[in-house]
Amino acid sequence: MKKGYTLTELMAVVAISGILIAVGVPVLNTVNQNIIMAKTRLTLQQDARTSMSLITRVLKEATASSIVITRHNSSQMFYSKIKFSTIDGKNYEFYQDGKSLVMRDGNVTRVLSSDLRYLAFTLTESSDLYIVSISMTLERYLFNGKRKALHMASEKVMVMND
């Protein structure tokens, strides 16, 4: 014997499905957004850490007398660029160009991050070039600019050579 759905059953199914969708979609949407936020935050943290450890590693090898702190061009932030030579004679630059964090190793330039919001190389005192503080903020806008993920990292580097 075959039996189909009754009209009442079908209507109940449709009603329940409707309620589930009405409640579930916004919830799923929020969950999804939160996951994307968390993921982005982690990505930014990771990028910041990678870039920071790259800068500190190279900067430690710098000779203090070769350090110049400036900016890449007149539309960038002050002190958002550092130039130096290492003890074995290699030249490096790290700087902000708009939203890009750029590394220049000899003649090769490389973009380390495209989410740069803030970068500053500062000294406790301009006459002491042996300790450089680096402050870096990465930022990415999500969901049509409605929300943003943000990560700030800062570190002090001791320059080992005169």
Partner 1 sequence: MSLKRAFTLTELMISVVIIGTVLFAIVEAYSSIQKAVQYSKDRTIATNLAHEKINIIREKLYYKAVPSLNVSYLTDFDPPIPYDTVFFPPETVLEGGVYYTRYTYIVPVEEVNGSIVELPPQSPDTGMKKISVTVVWSYRNEKKKVSVSTIYASKDTVMRNASIGGRIRDKDTLAPISNANIIIAEYIGIVDVSDSNGNYSASIYPGNYTLYVQKRGYFPYLTQFSVGPNQSITKDIDLKAMGWGKITGVPWLRDHLVISQIVGSTESPSGFDQEYIEIFNPTTYTWTVKGNIGLRFQRIYDDTKKNILINYFTDTISPGGFYLFANTSPVIINGVSINADAVWSSTNSSIDFPYFNPSLGQYNIIPVFGDGSDEGGGAIELYRISDGKILDQVGWNRNSGTKKVAPFCEPGTNCQTQAIQQNIGLQEGEQYVRYSSTAGVSSVYGPSYDSNNNSIDFKDYLSINISPRNSSNLLPIISGTPADGSIVGCGDGYSVSTNSYLVGSPPYSYFELNYVATGTWNFSVSSNTYAFITDSITVTNGSTVTLNSVYLTSEVSWGYITGNLTDVYGNNITPAIKVLSSDGNETYVSNKKYTLMVSTGVVSITANPGNLNPSYVSVSSNNISINAGEIKSGVNFVLFQGARITGKVVIAGSTVAVPGIPVLITDIYETPRDNQITDTSGRFITNVLSTGSYIVIPQTDSKESVNPSTYTLTLTSPGTTVFSTTFSITNAIGYIAGSVKFQNQPIKTGVLIVVSTVSLSGTPPQPPDISSQMLSGPPYYMASSNEEGNYLVEVRGSTNPAYNVYSYYPYLDNNGNFVIYWSSRTNIKVYAGQVVSNINFSW
Distance, in Å, from the CA atom of 93 to the CA atom of 78, rounded to the nearest integer, reads 15
User: Which CB, 75 or 107, lies closer to partner 1?
Assistant: 75
Residues 114-142 as b or e (16 or more Cβ within 10 Å = b): ebbbebbbeeeeeeebeebebebbbebee
Region label for 79, one of left (φ > 0), alpha (ψ between -120 and 50) or beta (otherwise): left
Lay out the sheet containing 131-142: strands in order across: 116-123, 131-142, 147-158
User: Which CB, 83 or 105, lies closer to partner 1?
Assistant: 83
User: Which CB, 108 or 118, lies closer to partner 1?
Assistant: 118
Which amino acid, 132?
V
Range list of β-strands (E), 13-145: 68-70, 81-85, 91-97, 100-105, 108-113, 116-123, 131-142
Interaction site with partner 1 (CB under 8 A): 1-5, 9, 12-13, 16, 20, 31, 35, 38-39, 41-42, 45-46, 49, 64-70, 75-79, 98-99, 117-118, 120, 122-127, 129, 131, 133, 135, 137, 139, 150-156, 158
Query: What is the nearest approach in angstroms of partner 1 to the Cβ of residue 10?
Result: 10
Query: What is the nearest approach in angstroms of partner 1 to the Cβ of residue 103?
Result: 19
Query: What is the nearest approach in angstroms of partner 1 to the Cβ of residue 109?
Result: 20
Query: What is the nearest approach in angstroms of partner 1 to the Cβ of residue 51?
Result: 13
User: Which CB, 27 or 108, lies closer to partner 1?
Assistant: 27
Query: What is the nearest approach in angstroms of partner 1 to the Cβ of residue 66?
Result: 8
